[in-house]
Amino acid sequence: MRRSSTTLAALFSASILALTACGGGGDDTASDGGSDSEGGSDSGLKVGLAYDVGGRGDQSFNDSAAAGLDQAIEEYGIDPQESAAEDGESESAREERLRTFVDAGYDPIIAVGFAYEAAVAKVAEEFPDSHFAIIDSETVEADNVANLVFAEEEGSFLVGAAAALKTETDNVGFVGGVETPLIQKFEAGYIAGAEAVNPDIEVQSTYLTQIPDFSGFADPARGKTAAEGMFDGGADIVYHAAGGSGGGVFEAAAESDNLAIGVDSDQYETADPSVQDVIMTSMLKNIDVAVFEYLTAVNDGEFPSGITRYDLSVDGVGYSTSGGQVDDIADELDEYKQQIIDGEVEVPSAP
Amino acid sequence: MTRVLRALLGLLAPLLALVAAFVITSLVLISAGDPVGEVWSEILQVPETRNVANIVNQACVLYLSGLAVAVAFRMNLFNIGVDGQYRIAAFVGAVVAGEAWLPGYLNTALAIVCAMAVGALWAGIAGVLRATRGVSEVISTIMLNFISTSVVAYLLREAAVREEGSNTIGTKEIPEGSRIGPIPLAAADSGPTAEIYGFVVLAVLAGVAYWFVMSRTRFGFDLRATGQSTTAAVASGINVRRMTIITMMLSGAVAGLVGLPILFGEAYSYGSTFQSGLGFAGIAIALLGRNNPVGIALAALLFAFLEEQSNPLQILVGVSPEIVAITQGVIVLTVVISYEVVRRFLTRREQSRVAKAERPADPAGPADPAPTQDQEARA
């Protein structure tokens, strides 16, 4: 009895550790040495990129930041190093990641994701001569910190309006990955956009997981189930803000002959070809642009600091047109876009 | 003679396990095409003071988690629910401390008591289910983890304060007077400071209390006796149902402490980025430490040390940080296996000795190994 319990415990904890190991994925050293082979490698800039959980290869948030870095590698020949967060790591692990970059001479250091909020605030104070950028957080105020934030609710408003214009059942859905204030911005904008077109529209809304369980961003099976439920409930278009779980939403749409809306990047281009046709449009959150612009400024010898907001007016967010499914409503969407830019329409950022 | 041999083997087993883990990890590195030499020279470097502080802090948290699991292990209960227990307890502790109904350290004490009580009650559910309905605590605690996640997420949304422009939410910050001040390891004029949690002292006290209760009280004896043989426990008048519930609650109470070093020493609130998964690490650590208070401390330090290597390995050597998790898993397995090997060796020796003593004239070898000395070897 006692022995079997110990064996069970050993197997259990070993498998937990193994699962942790599998969860990482992503090739962390993918861009090593990229600087040597590219042309114009004269900047000598050493850039550290600290990813959120998932790292490069998550086909979503982190990859978007990686795309901006890759572009900078190509154009300026910078010397990059990347490091990804692990699920369930301590605050001090995040801080150490930034400090290790500083100690190894990397400057600037880009922290991808709001999880680094406290760590960047602390480490930026410890090393006033180093420079940092943080994506998705505007609370860190320091001369050596640049805050790159997005108006996700504005882009979501437009795809919400698109969904309301396209739906035939007056019933649309929203699948969020993890219920955080950030993802609630997507939801709030989407609902506002849909209701701006049709005040009587029904919007079904759900989240896959709750804090601190962040698996909702990487669980296609659960995304599929959630979307199936919505399609069964009468929706004919579902928008997802669920990172890697979005693939399941697309599958559900394809199998039930309905439509879906992608997120972050133009998913019509990146998704599996078998579900390409169901992706009506995607809400674009151009993290790659933000990262690239930041590195461009740094390459020009200037370290930006303070908040840079990527909203509709600077095309930091928007919607994609690949596939041509929203071409017929482009005029109406552009009208909403102009109204938001002009401040005539105010988009809520919380549901 | 046997006593000396046993002590020697007791030292040899973990050493053997570490060497085996070293070899296996190296093989993994080689097969992945990673620079083995660089990896080990990075890992075996003398850590800087601030890294030492990080290791001690993380070990403190892992230690409490390991203790919580060990309490239940001693009674042959498998509390997988430490993870859910510490999160719901840390949340309640954070809310109580954040509301600051009492001044200064009274507030801290109240929050600690509340956190332990919540942890105990949450684990107690599984204890009651096991004692009254025979529900396996493995299943019920793992289910309670999910429920804990949802309950905390719901309550956090109700209780949360959110800074304008921030994408994180958290409970109210604990007032300065109720925080547990850090112990500085090295003073720094600029740059990073090296401080360890003041809570480390409480973790050490928890370890001493664990040792005392388990090996110096009647309750601890009852607990261990029940774990080793339920029938013997019943025969000697122990109320096994009552023990099951009390042990689970005790395990949960210790689990309630797990998140508190972070809460009172660093984060000051429970929010989106509060560390998760500590309960699962505790299972591996309790196993590694063989439910011994000193052993668990060493195991916690080893795990914390390995975790601290993940960043330099990634940034300086360019090795995937998953190697750290692999090493941890390999160590757990090799330790369990090497102790099993040593235990079997001792059992066999003991049996042949007994056989010789009982039947001096009988030339036949020892009988088939039977787990008679099982308990003694493991206690």
Q: Which of A46, A47, A96 should one mutate to test binding to chain B, selecting the residue with the greatest count of B CBs within 10 A?
A: A96
Q: For residue A39, what pLDDT is reported?
A: 42
What is the nearest CA distance from A327 to chain B, expressed in angstroms? 34
Residue A157 and residue A299 in contact, taking contact as beta carbons nearer than 8 Å: no
Closest of A126, A170, A171, A169 to residue A145, by C-alpha: A126
The sign of the dihedral angle between the CA atoms of B165, A118, A245, B283 is negative
Give me the helix-helix angle, B293-308 and B278-288, nearest 10°: 130
Q: Say how many C-beta atoms besides its own lie within 10 A of residue A195's C-beta.
A: 16
Q: For residue B286, what pLDDT is reported?
A: 94
Domains of chain B: 1-34+320-379 (no CATH), 49-313 (1.10.3470)
A191 and A277 both lie in a single domain: yes
Task: Kindly list the residues from chain B whose CB atom is less than 8 angstroms away from the CB atom of residue A34.
Answer: none
Per-residue pLDDT of chain B (379 residues; tens, 9 = 90+): 567 877 787 778 878 888 999 999 999 999 988 889 989 998 888 888 889 999 999 999 999 999 999 999 999 999 999 999 999 999 999 999 999 999 989 999 999 999 999 999 999 999 999 999 999 999 999 999 999 998 998 898 888 877 666 777 889 999 999 999 888 886 655 567 788 999 999 999 999 999 999 999 999 999 999 999 989 999 989 999 999 999 999 999 999 999 999 999 999 999 888 898 899 999 999 998 989 999 999 999 999 999 999 899 989 988 888 888 888 899 989 988 888 888 888 889 889 988 888 776 555 544 454 444 444 444 4
Q: Please give the full DSSP string across A126-164, using - where no structure is assigned.
A: H-TTS-EEEES------TTEEEEEE-HHHHHHHHHHHHH
A261 in helix, strand or coil? strand
Task: Kindly list the residues from chain A whose CB atom is less than 8 angstroms away from the CB atom of residue B272.
Answer: 114-115, 180, 211-212
Exposure on the CB side of residue A59, measured as CA atoms within 13 A: 18
Closest of A325, A347, A348 to residue A336, by C-alpha: A347
Per-residue pLDDT at A40 exceeds 60: no
What is the nearest CA distance from A311 to chain B, expressed in angstroms? 14
**Cα angle: B303, vertex A62, B59; to 5 degrees:** 15
A37 and A158 both lie in a single domain: no
A338 and A217 both lie in a single domain: yes
Task: Kindly list the residues from chain B whose CB atom is less than 8 angstroms away from the CB atom of residue A181.
Answer: 162, 166-169
Task: Kindly list the residues from chain B whose CB atom is less than 8 angstroms away from the CB atom of residue A95.
Answer: 192
A111 and A260 both lie in a single domain: no
- Report how far residue B58's alpha carbon sits from residue B73's, in angstroms, rounded to the nearest whole number: 22
**Cα angle: A74, vertex A80, A83; to 5 degrees:** 130
pLDDT band at A42 (very low <50, low <70, confident <90, very high): low
Nearest CA in chain B to A149: B165
B367 in helix, strand or coil? coil
A87 and A74 both lie in a single domain: yes
Task: Kindly list the residues from chain A whose CB atom is less than 8 angstroms away from the CB atom of residue B232.
Answer: none
In this prediction, residues A325-345 reach a mean pLDDT of 93
Task: Kindly list the residues from chain A whose CB atom is less than 8 angstroms away from the CB atom of residue B329.
Answer: 13-14, 17-18, 21
| Per-position b or e across A287-324, b if 16+ CB within 10 A of its CB | bbbbbbbbbbbbbeeebbbebbebbbebebbbbbeebe
Greater pLDDT, A10 or B341: B341
Of B168, B228, B325, the CB nearest to A2: B228
Question: 């209701």: which residue's tokens?
Answer: A195
Q: For residue B373, what pLDDT is reported?
A: 47
- Report how far residue A209's alpha carbon sits from residue A245's, in angstroms, rounded to the nearest whole number: 11
CB contact under 8 A, B316 and A48: no
Closest of A43, A113, A88 to residue B61, by C-alpha: A88
What is the nearest CA distance from B361 to chain A, expressed in angstroms? 35
Q: pLDDT tens digit string along A211-264?
A: 777 788 888 999 999 999 999 999 999 999 998 889 999 999 999 999 999 998
Own/partner contacts of B108-116, CB < 8 Å, gap of 24 or more, are: B108/B178, B108/B179, B108/B180, B108/B264, B111/B174, B111/B178, B111/B260, B111/B264, B112/B257, B112/B260, B115/B89, B115/B90, B115/B256, B115/B257, B115/B259, B115/B260, B116/B89, B116/B253, B116/B254, B116/B256, B116/B257
Residue A249 dihedral angles phi and psi, to the nearest 5°? -65, -40
CB contact under 8 A, A211 and B272: yes
Nearest CA in chain A to B259: A90
- Report how far residue A129's alpha carbon sits from residue A127's, in angstroms, rounded to the nearest whole number: 5
Contacts of A70 (CB under 8 A, 6+ apart): A31, A34
Q: What average pLDDT does the structure give for chain A? A: 87
The sign of the dihedral angle between the CA atoms of A102, A105, A107, A112 is negative
A125 and A245 both lie in a single domain: no
User: Within a domain: residue A89?
Assistant: yes
pLDDT band at A329 (very low <50, low <70, confident <90, very high): very high
Contacts of B234 (CB under 8 A, 6+ apart): B240
Q: For residue B167, what pLDDT is reported?
A: 75
Per-residue pLDDT at A143 exceeds 50: yes
In this prediction, residues A132-150 reach a mean pLDDT of 93
What is the nearest CA distance from A49 to chain B, expressed in angstroms? 10
CB contact under 8 A, B371 and A211: no
pLDDT band at A34 (very low <50, low <70, confident <90, very high): very low
Round the CA-based radius of gyration of chain A to a whole number and report it: 21
Residue B265 and residue B35 in contact, taking contact as beta carbons nearer than 8 Å: no
A90 and A158 both lie in a single domain: no
- Report how far residue A302's alpha carbon sits from residue A306's, in angstroms, rounded to the nearest whole number: 13
User: Within a domain: residue A351?
Assistant: no
Q: Dig out the tokens for A198 from the structure.
A: 């049709």
Q: Which of B322, B330, B332 should one mutate to test binding to chain A, selecting the residue with the greatest count of A CBs within 10 A?
A: B322
The sign of the dihedral angle between the CA atoms of B307, B313, B315, B316 is positive
Per-residue pLDDT at A172 exceeds 90: yes
| Beta-bridge partners for A309 | A149
Query: Residue B52: which H helix or E strand, with range?
Result: helix B49-74
Contacts of A224 (CB under 8 A, 6+ apart): A248, A249, A251, A252
Q: Please give the full DSSP string across B142-161, using - where no structure is assigned.
A: HHHHHHHHHHHHHHHHHH-B
A125 and A221 both lie in a single domain: no
With residues binned 3-state (H G I as helix, E B as strand, rest as coil), the percentages for chain A, rounded to 5, are 50, 20, 30
B181 in helix, strand or coil? coil
Q: Could you give the ipTM of this predicted complex?
A: 0.84
Q: Which of A13, A79, A135, A140 should one mutate to test binding to chain B, selecting the residue with the greatest count of B CBs within 10 A?
A: A13
Closest of B234, B295, B233 to residue B63, by C-alpha: B295
Greater pLDDT, A274 or B367: A274
User: Within a domain: residue A105?
Assistant: yes
Supply the range of the domain harboring residue A228: 152-285+321-342
Q: For residue B8, what pLDDT is reported?
A: 81
A177 and A205 both lie in a single domain: yes
> How far is residue A98 CA from its own chain's centroid?
21
A146 and A60 both lie in a single domain: yes
Task: Kindly list the residues from chain B whose CB atom is less than 8 angstroms away from the CB atom of residue A127.
Answer: 191
CB contact under 8 A, B167 and A180: yes
SS (H, E, C) B249-317: HHHHHHHCCCCHHHHHHHHCCCECCCCCCHHHHHHHHHHHCCCCHHHHHHHHHHHHHHHHCHHHHHHHH
Q: pLDDT tens digit string along A51-106?
A: 988 788 777 788 889 999 999 999 999 999 999 888 788 899 999 999 999 999 99
Q: Which of B39, B74, B272 should one mutate to test binding to chain A, selecting the residue with the greatest count of A CBs within 10 A?
A: B272
Closest of B199, B184, B192 to residue B58, by C-alpha: B199
β pairing state of B194-196 and A317-319? unpaired
- Report how far residue B49's alpha carbon sits from residue B39's, in angstroms, rounded to the nearest whole number: 20
What is the nearest CA distance from A254 to chain B, expressed in angstroms? 31
Round the CA-based radius of gyration of chain B to a whole number and report it: 23
Question: 């210790």: which residue's tokens?
Answer: B254
A102 and A41 both lie in a single domain: yes
CA distances from B45 to A81, A97, B14, B48 (A): 21, 17, 22, 9
Q: Which of B48, B167, B270 should one mutate to test binding to chain A, selecting the residue with the greatest count of A CBs within 10 A?
A: B167
User: Within a domain: residue A18?
Assistant: no
Amino acid identity of B37? Answer: G
Q: pLDDT tens digit string along A99-129?
A: 999 999 999 999 999 889 999 999 999 999 9
Looking up residue A141, the CATH number of its domain turns out to be: 3.40.50.2300
Own/partner contacts of A331-339, CB < 8 Å, gap of 24 or more, are: A332/A161, A332/A165, A333/A158, A333/A161, A333/A162, A333/A165, A336/A157, A336/A158, A336/A161, A336/A193, A336/A196, A337/A158, A337/A312
| Beta-bridge partners for A172 | A203, A237
Task: Kindly list the residues from chain A whose CB atom is less than 8 angstroms away from the CB atom of residue B152.
Answer: 210-211
Residue A109 and residue A130 in contact, taking contact as beta carbons nearer than 8 Å: yes
CB contact under 8 A, B169 and A83: no
Contacts of A131 (CB under 8 A, 6+ apart): A107, A108, A109, A144, A145, A146, A298, A303
CB contact under 8 A, B166 and A99: no
Share of chain A above pLDDT 70, in %: 88
CB contacts < 8 A (A, B) = 189
The full length of chain A comes to 351
> How far is residue A252 CA from its own chain's centroid?
21
**Cα angle: A49, vertex A51, A54; to 5 degrees:** 145
Q: For residue A31, what pLDDT is reported?
A: 39
Please state the domain count of chain A: 2
Task: Kindly list the residues from chain B whose CB atom is less than 8 angstroms away from the CB atom of residue A184.
Answer: none
CB contact under 8 A, A114 and B166: yes
| Per-position b or e across B260-293, b if 16+ CB within 10 A of its CB | bbbbbbbbbbbbbbbbbbbbbbbbbbbbbbbbbb
A157 and A258 both lie in a single domain: yes
Give me the helix-helix angle, A330-342 and A152-166, nearest 10°: 150
Amino acid identity of A26? Answer: G
User: Within a domain: residue A231?
Assistant: yes
CB contact under 8 A, A21 and B276: no
Q: For residue A279, what pLDDT is reported?
A: 94
Question: 């989106």: which residue's tokens?
Answer: B272
